[in-house]
Structure 1
Amino acid sequence: MRDCTKIAFLFISLVLLFVVTAGCSPNEEPSQGDKVLRIAVDSKGEYDYKYRDYVEAAFPGLKVELIELEEDYKPRLSIQEFMKKIETEKPDLILTSSYRYVQLAEKGLVADLSVRLAESGMTEDDFYPGMIEWVKQASGGRLSGIAPFFQSSVLYYNETLFKKYGIELPHDGMTLEEVIELASRFTSGGGSKDGIVGMHQPFSNLPYNVLSQFAMSEGIRDVTFSRGKVSMDTPLWRHIIETVINLYESGTLSTKEVKGKMINGVLTFDKEATEQANLFEQGKAAMSIGYYGISYNTEKFKTGYVEPPVSSKDRLSSSNIYIFNIMAIGAEAKNAETAWDVIRFMTSDHMAKIQSKLSSDTASSGFPTRKSYLNYVQDPIIGRLFQLKPVYSTAEPEIETVYDGRKFYLLFEELVNKEMAAAIKGEKSVDEIIKTIQKDGQALLDAAKKTK
């Protein structure tokens, strides 16, 4: 198996080198020489996985110095520590998460890329519109970064089950509530007695997870950290809570929980647990939301997929479209030209073509944001996904600076699941659990406040 992996890697590297070499025209030659490009990366492991092969193939003479910001297996840096490291190290190129990019943009630690984009012969129209809009929203209207990839989930469905129970297939443009309503027809149509559920998300089927899916879809929060308040006592939240309770009561959603094992402080799931959790692959769930490109073992039934659920406020937006990684140039970069050469290559038409030939696992790599990628792929749904945009949520740094967000959410999720379970069993009313979640949740939030 290891030899096969090495052979595949060598093949990919050779193809990549050929395509890169063949694709570069004289006026696109990267700036090289004796300059050292200082690249700030979240971790060396992430750089190795996502960027190293491409950079080394396209820029064989380039000297690179990595600045690790979030080393693997070490505690996460606070916002203040992260900013301090960027200010001290003054990197040329910054490869980081969208979460960290927002913080850098707010502090003015990344450069505006608009002029460089125009001078290189590219325009914003050459890219996935949802990415451009997201980046500019996160940086006060400026183009201070570019995401080379974006990821999208789709709504997978078991066509065999839909036909068996005489239910119409899902379609593009459905909200999460409409998808759930469709799922509920399997219960009323007799699916529950056959052990069939209408909708299932592996490892995300507990009430808090389902509530969070609705919240993200509609762009609302369960906690407002900037105000220090738990905020689930609104009419919209009440409607969502009632909806989710009804789904569990009717059997549309399964309460079956697969528990993992804690190994060296990391929650892990073995092969058996993973298989038990995936009701869709077992043919016991009619629908499931998952990354585009997931390879399901579904030889016993026919499957299909459509666009992921969209927001009821804007049916061209979806919380299942993700911008994960951003490339930016440091505001005090000494080698900004070379940094831009790397960004330009990673977001080029050549790179889009490479990805169309080499990306056998789109579920993990995502789609290039360069729109010309659509010229090299066959699946028509990819073009439709390029027309959707991610739901933008304003960052709340207080989750780190004022509160211990990790500690709070571990306890808050447990509280919500416990109260929802009581309501599902008929032991408490909706009013009672909302009151308890507000009161006890607020106490947990207050307790999670950091002492100065």
Structure 2
Amino acid sequence: MIRSTQRSTIRLLLQRWLPAVLALALLLTACSSGDGNRESGGEPVTLKVMHWNEQSFNSEYGMLYYALNPNVEFEVVSTNKIQVSEIESSEEYEKKFEQFIQDEKPDILMLNQEQYEKFAADGRLVSLESYLTRDKLDLEGFIPGLIDLMREKGGGELYGLTPNFYSQAIYYNKDLFDRYNIEYPTDKMSWEEVLNLAGRFPTDGSDEDRIYGLRVGYSTDLFQLGLAIGSTSGLRMVNPADKRVSIDSESWVNAYETALRAIRSGTLYNNENMSFSGSYEEYLLQNPFVSGKVAMAIDGTYLMQQIREAAEVIPDKAVKNWDLVTIPVDPANPDYTNNVSFYNIFAIHAESPNRDAAWDFIRYIHSDEYARVTSKAFNGQFPVRTKYIRDDEGRNLAAFYLLEPSGTELYPGFEDLPSNFFNEFYTIGSEEMKAVTSDQKTVAEALASMQTRLQAALDEAIANQEANGAAGRNEAGVSVESGMVVMPAESGEAEAGAAGEGSAD
């Protein structure tokens, strides 16, 4: 066990540091050979940049840019100075964020989508349109819909860019599909089509030996699966604008009845025990897709890293013949998804005295050159330049970016609801749907009861927050992956995915 733990530690260290070393070596090689070398003359300048912290900024961007621009220095103003744990309301957070920018006066801002839209509307960002025209930055190579979304959020102009994105896809095991003579999944399938395909796999055999058709998230209960299906179709459980719950509807009934049929079919993999102790090899095989127990899995890029690691460590036991298609879509809107995430949008502060230098940095980290170098060190996120999203064995990595970002969130405005409501939302929803799976209620009865209970819980939470003078912010540590509610105890992958960013949005 000691030897296995040591090996695991060494592997994890190599995974973390080796890619950065390799990327730097590639860059220095390019510089020494003259490839990618650029003009670095002019007066020395110090750029103040917002980021999670100095170490993460230099690891992702600074080292590469320094090598090509010796006259530029960075002063990283860390957003960690905003102590989220001490903030009790969304209004308080926004005030602290505004004060942070006012005090630090960064040249380059790092924003989420909501902040980007607000700052652009308030005239606090520099339009990038003239720079794009002057420097002829290639926008055609970006993932579909990104530039359109950024311009839409900017009121018709482009005020910021993001170098990376995160999304999910459906992984599928070709060998299992071939064994049972089932046709492969395809891009842009609906939830019903995916679940029907999963249902064609046999459901007999013991838990240790049998094959499952599909794994969705970490704990596939009825509440979460129905939520995922409804959210993909644009349904909303709560309207944050008027604080009204709206789940007692025919559309939600249909979504949950679809989920109920899938769960009762026995084709969905569900393992609620996420604890683990053992060797690293056993840890890798704990994932049912890696070990060949699941025909399809909806997951992010973290699973791809696990598969590749398993292929090196335990090649005789890990899945070999696999590919990807897009996550389920709304049949009425099949080209779009609300599953694409952007963790950091870089923009130039309107008060910056170093606009040209700030643009040069933003231009570089969105250039073909930067994407080429950093693509050698995959860290769980893809570059927005699709040219460098590729697989040596020809797998369909386009599944991660084929669908255009819809520009709407799974739960728009949810962060403005009282902070304790989300836990009530999860608890009440789970209780009501457990009553359905145990045949105590129909789906319609459970949704009607959920409507009443959730509205009462929301009304009470709003009354309490108003009495306390705070509009509670959702800081419960909850994330949403492909429509699945991921509570803190279950959010292993969310943490792994956020490790590359230094924080989650």
**Which bin holds the TM-score, normalised by the shorter protein?**
0.7 to 0.9
TM-score, length basis structure 1:
0.84
Aligned 1:54-203 pairs, distance under 5 A: 54-71=64-81, 74-75=84-85, 78-187=93-202, 190=204, 195-203=210-218
Partner residue, 2:487? none
CA 1:125–1:36 in 2, change beyond 3 Å: closer, same or farther?
Answer: same
Partner residue, 1:404? 418
SS of the residue aligned with 1:413? helix
2:41 is the counterpart of 1:41: no
Partner residue, 1:432? 445
2:430 is the counterpart of 1:417: yes
Shift, 1:141, TM fit? 2.3
Partner residue, 2:299? 290
SS of the residue aligned with 1:95? strand
Amino acid at match of 2:371: A
Amino acid at match of 1:206: D
Partner residue, 1:207? 222
Partner residue, 1:340? 359
CA 1:202–1:228 in 2, change beyond 3 Å: closer, same or farther?
Answer: closer
From 17, 41, 44, the counterpart of 2:28? 17
Separation (CA, whole Å) in 1 of partners of 2:432 and 2:250: 18
Shift, 1:179, TM fit? 1.0
Give % identity. Answer: 27
Shift, 1:20, TM fit? 5.3
Deviations 1:172-200 (A, max 9, x none): 2212321112112225x757885332111
**Residue 30 of structure 1 contacts residue 338 of structure 1 at CA under 8 Å; is this kept in 2?**
no
CA 1:220–1:42 in 2, change beyond 3 Å: closer, same or farther?
Answer: farther
SS of the residue aligned with 1:198? strand
**Residue 200 of structure 2 contacts residue 213 of structure 2 at CA under 8 Å; is this kept in 1?**
yes
CA 1:396–1:190 in 2, change beyond 3 Å: closer, same or farther?
Answer: closer
Amino acid at match of 2:165: F
**Residue 160 of structure 2 contacts residue 346 of structure 2 at CA under 8 Å; is this kept in 1?**
yes
Shift, 1:57, TM fit? 2.6
Q: Which range moves more in the overlay, 433-442 or 251-260?
A: 251-260
SS of the residue aligned with 2:396? helix
Shift, 1:236, TM fit? 1.8
**Residue 153 of structure 1 contacts residue 289 of structure 1 at CA under 8 Å; is this kept in 2?**
yes
Amino acid at match of 2:362: I
Separation (CA, whole Å) in 2 of partners of 1:6 and 1:247: 42
Equivalenced residues, count: 437
Separation (CA, whole Å) in 2 of partners of 1:30 and 1:294: 37
Deviations 1:257-307 (A, max 9, x none): 12559xxxxxx9997996686222232221102224333237445432222
**Residue 169 of structure 2 contacts residue 399 of structure 2 at CA under 8 Å; is this kept in 1?**
no
Shift, 1:91, TM fit? 1.6
2:463 is the counterpart of 1:447: no
Partner residue, 2:381? 365
CA 1:156–1:256 in 2, change beyond 3 Å: closer, same or farther?
Answer: same
2:321 is the counterpart of 1:307: no
**Residue 258 of structure 1 contacts residue 276 of structure 1 at CA under 8 Å; is this kept in 2?**
no
Amino acid at match of 1:422: A
**Residue 204 of structure 1 contacts residue 210 of structure 1 at CA under 8 Å; is this kept in 2?**
no
Separation (CA, whole Å) in 2 of partners of 1:279 and 1:395: 27
Partner residue, 2:288? 279
Where structure 2 has 5 or more consecutive residues not aligned to the other structure, the ranges are 1-9, 470-505
Amino acid at match of 1:419: E
Where structure 1 has 5 or more consecutive residues not aligned to the other structure, the ranges are 262-267
Shift, 1:438, TM fit? 0.8
TM-score, length basis structure 2:
0.76
**Residue 177 of structure 2 contacts residue 184 of structure 2 at CA under 8 Å; is this kept in 1?**
yes
Shift, 1:71, TM fit? 4.4
2:232 is the counterpart of 1:221: no
**Residue 32 of structure 1 contacts residue 59 of structure 1 at CA under 8 Å; is this kept in 2?**
no
